[in-house]
Structure 1
Amino acid sequence: MEEELTESEITEQLAELGIEPGGTVLMHASMRSVGKVKGGPVSVLNALRHLLGPDGTLVVPTFTSDNSDTSSAHQEKIRGLSDEARVKFCENMPPFDPATTPSTGMGVLAETVRCHTNSTRSAHPQTSFAALGAQAAKITQGHRLDCHLGKHSPLARLYDMRAHVLLLGVGFDRCTAFHLGEYRVIDPPRRKYRCVIRKDGLRQWWEYEDVALDDSDFGRLGEDFERVSASGAVRKGRVGSASCRLLSFVDAVDYAQSWLLEHRATGYGRSPQC
């Protein structure tokens, strides 16, 4: 029988990976990859907060890709429905509420952060972030509804703070920081998005234009980033059963910007998640 990891063991392993007091960390995580932990995701969260200390901040994506009629998640939900059933489904979609709307596909650890009493969450109805710690409010405030992951999003604040990215049992294909590189190329492709919001107390559809997000090649981008990065830019280790990486947010974004310019002459927006 697989032994349960204790909170102290998780803390020790995260410290070896490089989590330090006062840091700001954007985390993507898979508890399934970590394995059995005594106390579950709460113990992992406690370990991270203990290491970051009172001056540190933990940030997680709390995206709601199914709050849309332009996303792949939405298309999967309505697959096989009649035209009438599709219309009814869209009419019954609830508006995004940062206080109560659960994230979609972000994992139980991200949801544990989102549901924490002291967490704050940004207001974007499709690509929100939740944060805990000293800089939580600064990171999450001002997330414009027409900017998924660009200069008016928490990613830009994390870049300015020289944060780190923790990939806890997940690969580079989950590295949201790379999306900021998409915004920083010259004249990135754009597309229309639609989602459900509540404005002036009324449920309504919100349509806007933003960069055409595409994570389909992030795995390859990450492999190249890791291969050419200077020593220390990507730290590798294990937490429980999970292979983990801790990387420089600034280095990841800067490399993504140059890599995307070289490797994406055409073909942006192939994977509409929002």
Structure 2
Amino acid sequence: MYTKDMLSNQLTDMGFKPSDTVLVHSSMKSIGEVEAGAEGVLDVLIDYFSEGLLIFPTHTWEQMGEKKLIFDPLHEPACVGILPNLFLKREGVSRSLHPTHSVAAIGENSVKYLKDDTHGTPCHRHGCFGKLYDYQAKLLFIGVGMDKNTFLHSVEEWMDIPDRLTDRPVRFKVKLPNGAQQHAATYRHLKGGISDKYVKMTDPFLYTGCMKTGQFGDAHCYVGDAVKMADLTLGFLENDIHVLDDFEPIPVSWYKKTENH
């Protein structure tokens, strides 16, 4: 069984600082047996990043749609795992108002970070995923890979990559804490496994130092630098706007320098 101290030490080993801004994608099952279970994992993360900003995706794209048009951020469960749902219940945690791609955060800058997240696309440049670049955030993938990297959806949106969003928005309403409702129309991601292709970015990210590996409990982890990841991906998309449309590997010549002997 992993104690909280053991997990905290693993965060240090991965190079994290308590003042970091960190977005966590997670698989609780991958971590193994932990002191106090999933709540213990949250205890560790919240305590460790007490001087920074801790963020979890709390997406609801799975259930929100034409048949469910009112998003209640205080009560709507996330569709992305146990840790985000438990995180939502923690004292001091706030949630953004995006009807399909909300995030939750705790930290001194959480109010500013979560503000203005109701624009018309899932991961727009000035919303919570675009702000990861501005906040020079780190991305921690606990037991999951690049197919869960929502930040890459955002990078593709900045480049206006074709065939990513629906032709028309869905007109949602968001329930506010005072009971009023706010209009929040947003386009949706097209179905068809867009993010599955993001796994091809794993090797380039690792080779160029945009990302490194680590361990959290039993879980294999990736730790990414949002700025470096975005800049490299933007460069690839400038080379070929369709490069993330399929599973073909990224051309090695785009990121590996050949040595002349």
RMSD: 2.8
Supply the AA of the counterpart residue of 1:60: F
Deviation, 1:9, is 1.0
Supply the AA of the counterpart residue of 2:71: F
> Using the alignment, how far apart are the partners of 1:204 and 1:247 within structure 2?
34
Q: Which residue of 1 aligns with 2:202?
A: 222
Find the residue that maps to 1:152 and give its secondary structure: coil
* Alignment map for 1:90-239 (pairs within 5 Å): 90=67, 93=68, 95-104=70-79, 106-185=80-159, 188-189=162-163, 190-191=165-166, 192-194=168-170, 196-198=172-174, 208-209=186-187, 214-227=194-207, 229-230=208-209, 233-239=210-216
> Using the alignment, how far apart are the partners of 2:3 and 2:170 within structure 1?
44
Unaligned runs of 5+ in 2: 247-261
Deviation, 1:205, is 9.2
Find the residue that maps to 1:63 and give its secondary structure: coil
How has the CA–CA distance of structure 1 residues 148 and 186 changed in structure 2, closer, same or farther, with 3 Å as cutoff?
A: closer
Find the partner of 2:53 among 51, 57, 60. 57
Deviation, 1:94, is 6.4
Deviation, 1:223, is 2.8
How has the CA–CA distance of structure 1 residues 146 and 30 changed in structure 2, closer, same or farther, with 3 Å as cutoff?
A: same
CA contact (8 A) 1:172 1:223 kept: no
CA contact (8 A) 1:61 1:127 kept: yes
Deviation, 1:194, is 2.2
> Using the alignment, how far apart are the partners of 1:246 and 1:151 within structure 2?
22
Q: Which residue of 2 aligns with 1:259?
A: 236
Find the residue that maps to 2:129 and give its secondary structure: helix
> Using the alignment, how far apart are the partners of 1:157 and 1:202 within structure 2?
27
Deviation, 1:114, is 1.5
How has the CA–CA distance of structure 1 residues 17 and 68 changed in structure 2, closer, same or farther, with 3 Å as cutoff?
A: same
> Using the alignment, how far apart are the partners of 2:145 and 2:219 within structure 1?
11
Deviation, 1:244, is 0.6
Deviation, 1:206, is 6.4
Deviation, 1:47, is 1.4
How has the CA–CA distance of structure 1 residues 39 and 259 changed in structure 2, closer, same or farther, with 3 Å as cutoff?
A: same
Deviation, 1:25, is 0.1
> Using the alignment, how far apart are the partners of 1:267 and 1:246 within structure 2?
21
TM-score, normalization by structure 1: 0.78
Deviation, 1:61, is 0.6
Can you list the C-alpha shifts for 1:105-162, whole angstroms capped at 9, x where unaligned? x111111222212111110100000001111111111112413211231112221110
CA contact (8 A) 2:198 2:244 kept: no
Deviation, 1:193, is 3.7
Find the residue that maps to 1:226 and give its secondary structure: helix
> Using the alignment, how far apart are the partners of 2:36 and 2:3 within structure 1?
8
CA contact (8 A) 1:125 1:195 kept: no
Larger deviation, residues 144-153 vs 212-221 = 212-221
CA contact (8 A) 2:99 2:174 kept: no
CA contact (8 A) 1:167 1:245 kept: yes
CA contact (8 A) 1:180 1:253 kept: no
How has the CA–CA distance of structure 1 residues 223 and 6 changed in structure 2, closer, same or farther, with 3 Å as cutoff?
A: same
> Using the alignment, how far apart are the partners of 1:177 and 1:251 within structure 2?
12
How has the CA–CA distance of structure 1 residues 211 and 52 changed in structure 2, closer, same or farther, with 3 Å as cutoff?
A: same
Deviation, 1:209, is 3.9
Supply the AA of the counterpart residue of 1:151: R
> Using the alignment, how far apart are the partners of 1:6 and 1:199 within structure 2?
39
Supply the AA of the counterpart residue of 2:53: T
Aligned length: 239
How has the CA–CA distance of structure 1 residues 252 and 196 changed in structure 2, closer, same or farther, with 3 Å as cutoff?
A: same
> Using the alignment, how far apart are the partners of 1:199 and 1:9 within structure 2?
40
Supply the AA of the counterpart residue of 2:57: P
